[in-house]
Structure 1
């Protein structure tokens, strides 16, 4: 028989966490290592303590809550997500995965269920990457993808240093930021952040993998001058070159693949005056696709576009690679566990490839990994308008709980 989490308690806990960093628009502004992040971490620690979990905080701020299994030699099943948010983001992104993991433990405790494998829940540090880059920073350090000293030294837009901010909020732990025990598997619940589940009238998503992506920034260096007396053929306009390349970031995906997407999410023009020709413009590229070759082709083509634009406008240019992630394909046993859980609960499940990056991108290097998606209404996320009905939240959380429970008893 499947286990069943307490719907009323799950919804109440979701609403409770959403009060920390709440915005007037009904969303969340809970950036990594902010005062609000400290508050939600304190709250999470209290919840874990009340369930009798052994709490560990590592030197990168990742928070773990450990529940013993009956087999002292068995590897652990890890479940969780992240509690930081985008600037003025939604209340579900990341947080629902942590609350669902907590609810799994609560349900096991309520029913007096002892699992063969230990269960551990986690809140990863700075998944969003909005204040400090890159995204999925805490899980990346833990899994060995990033050097901890380099990541500790990262700064935000105000010049605040990551390590100092981690110490300021009291969450630089003493435990080494690496796996402290053997891990069998990792499951993560997340909202889809796209329209496919809703379009297909599906209850839950059975995630088979995560797209890879490339992030970077291009800067054009022109010459500032008066916007009135300077003839057009005298100008070295950095913004014109940038505009040409940005338009190609929009167009290139349509020539590559069905799931290829491209975005310019940041642009800075200097001196940013209506009466001055732009001297320097920096903007970002972001391309995603399930195929590594497609991602590399998109990056190569946008850098070629930048070179041509610089030549046309008579400006200099340079670029910076900011992040690269290969596509991830999840372990069949974890994907199948999610599929069986959905079937046992009579939910209509759909296999789907994630279009967004998640901490599972890094955990799969350490252990077998899988994910559950909930429906995202209109596919909206990273906005206060992000919405998932409580019925869809509950279906996904129940699926996660049963898939994880299966993995705790699997030989």
Structure 2
């Protein structure tokens, strides 16, 4: 089989499921479009001899049994759900790349020594319901069913009802698997480092930790014309001080620390009223847990000081505190050795975005491969990667799976 031809066909066919007139794609968990996407992948698995089946919540597995060590499984894959009006590569590429790589290996070398399995996870993005990593959390036994028991989507449809409508039900008992010896996820970078450095692939050695906050500054709303500058308790002014000072400090610290104030809601948000309140978000990421904690705790102290200096009240809620996740060094070494042998233009790097691998890695040996993203664009209809880079990624994934499974 031809890797490029097979992958391109699958990408075109799967991308047609959930496509919209803007060129983007929407496949949300437990919708009919999502189920059609999973059914397409299942049919492609079965077409070349994989045993394909769903688990209780809709994760899809395609398996080739090993001839010598069938009790040891080498796994690769990702997710096919998308953000609303997203692109055709985030998640989907990892599923189709794994499927294409394994088909090539079987057609070229026959039955593997160890079992090989493609996984198409039910959900990663959290775009329909207020939950995230539902597929991978169920796969590793971390899911809390009570968290989704009463949640609904934007149209008021209940998570549990929609899950059951598609033929799934988390009440079915699932024992944690003990056969997984390696999980390798290939993904677009979703950043511009590889493109700027003109590299083909990256070997990912770490997924960043994240701390996210919601902060509310409370001052006093007042007339914009009759309130002298010295008498104001301007919440936007306090926010501006915090934002400016914090970003300057983050630039001083430098990579791999990143800091973002992504959501800002001033109130009353009117042209002729001094803002009496500002709610804003903070997203801070780092590959080192201690450095992340040190920076954000210092930021908490400084925000309180700035609020006091400007006679503002402040409420700080830390609602996400995720540790960095290192990749398995043995698998990282295997991928790097294949990159060296194949003369790929590559680098080592960390992932600044979250992935299913961060859920799987604490349970099974896990590593990731990145391919370039044009302009670093993702979660957007313009998301794209040169086909040559996509194919090179599948080739190094193929080489890695051969080393692990054969």
Q: Taking structure 2 as the reference length, what is the TM-score of the superposition?
A: 0.87
The partner residue of 1:306 within 303, 311, 329 is 303
CA separation of 1:267 and 1:89: change in aligned 2, threshold 3 A: farther
Q: In the alignment, what sits opposite 1:115?
A: 112
**Secondary structure of 2:71 counterpart:** coil
Unaligned runs of 5+ in 1: none
1:314-352 Cα shifts (integer Å, max 9, x gaps):
443323333222222222221122223334444223222
Q: In the alignment, what sits opposite 1:285?
A: 282
The partner residue of 1:105 within 99, 102, 112 is 102
User: Matched residues in 1 for 2:135 and 2:363: separation?
Assistant: 14
Q: In the alignment, what sits opposite 1:331?
A: 328
1:37 aligns with 2:27: no
Q: In the alignment, what sits opposite 2:93?
A: 96
1:259 aligns with 2:259: no
CA separation of 1:112 and 1:338: change in aligned 2, threshold 3 A: closer
CA separation of 1:9 and 1:153: change in aligned 2, threshold 3 A: same
How many Å apart are 1:225 and its aligned residue? 4.8
The partner residue of 1:85 within 74, 82, 88 is 82
User: Matched residues in 2 for 1:181 and 1:224: separation?
Assistant: 59
How many Å apart are 1:185 and its aligned residue? 0.6
The partner residue of 1:362 within 341, 359, 370 is 359
1:150 aligns with 2:117: no
How many Å apart are 1:120 and its aligned residue? 1.5
The partner residue of 1:402 within 391, 399, 404 is 399
1:40-80 Cα shifts (integer Å, max 9, x gaps):
22322333343443334334433222222223653211110
Q: In the alignment, what sits opposite 1:390?
A: 387
- Is contact 2:11-2:96 (8 Å) kept? yes
Q: Taking structure 1 as the reference length, what is the TM-score of the superposition?
A: 0.86
Report which stretch shifted further, 389-398 or 336-345: 336-345
CA separation of 1:279 and 1:192: change in aligned 2, threshold 3 A: same
How many Å apart are 1:190 and its aligned residue? 0.5
User: Matched residues in 2 for 1:219 and 1:396: separation?
Assistant: 44
Q: In the alignment, what sits opposite 2:177?
A: 180
CA separation of 1:316 and 1:209: change in aligned 2, threshold 3 A: same
Report which stretch shifted further, 338-347 or 79-88: 338-347
Q: In the alignment, what sits opposite 1:15?
A: 12
User: Matched residues in 2 for 1:23 and 1:313: separation?
Assistant: 49
CA separation of 1:28 and 1:75: change in aligned 2, threshold 3 A: same
Q: In the alignment, what sits opposite 1:27?
A: 24
User: Matched residues in 2 for 1:267 and 1:100: separation?
Assistant: 39
The partner residue of 2:243 within 223, 241, 246 is 246
Unaligned runs of 5+ in 2: none
CA separation of 1:155 and 1:311: change in aligned 2, threshold 3 A: farther
CA separation of 1:229 and 1:155: change in aligned 2, threshold 3 A: farther
How many Å apart are 1:285 and its aligned residue? 1.2
CA separation of 1:368 and 1:159: change in aligned 2, threshold 3 A: same
User: Matched residues in 1 for 2:90 and 2:141: separation?
Assistant: 24
CA separation of 1:36 and 1:269: change in aligned 2, threshold 3 A: farther
Q: In the alignment, what sits opposite 2:196?
A: 199
User: Matched residues in 2 for 1:56 and 1:403: separation?
Assistant: 25
How many Å apart are 1:366 and its aligned residue? 1.3
User: Matched residues in 2 for 1:245 and 1:56: separation?
Assistant: 52
Q: In the alignment, what sits opposite 1:62?
A: 59
Report which stretch shifted further, 189-198 or 231-240: 231-240
- Is contact 2:208-2:285 (8 Å) kept? yes
1:257-284 Cα shifts (integer Å, max 9, x gaps):
3211111233334444444454543322
**Secondary structure of 2:114 counterpart:** coil
User: Matched residues in 2 for 1:176 and 1:245: separation?
Assistant: 49
1:98-140 Cα shifts (integer Å, max 9, x gaps):
1111212332453471112111211223322344456434323
Report which stretch shifted further, 221-230 or 18-27: 221-230
User: Matched residues in 1 for 2:366 and 2:236: separation?
Assistant: 44
Q: In the alignment, what sits opposite 2:338?
A: 341
Q: In the alignment, what sits opposite 1:319?
A: 316
User: Matched residues in 2 for 1:165 and 1:251: separation?
Assistant: 46
Q: Aligned residues, how many?
A: 406
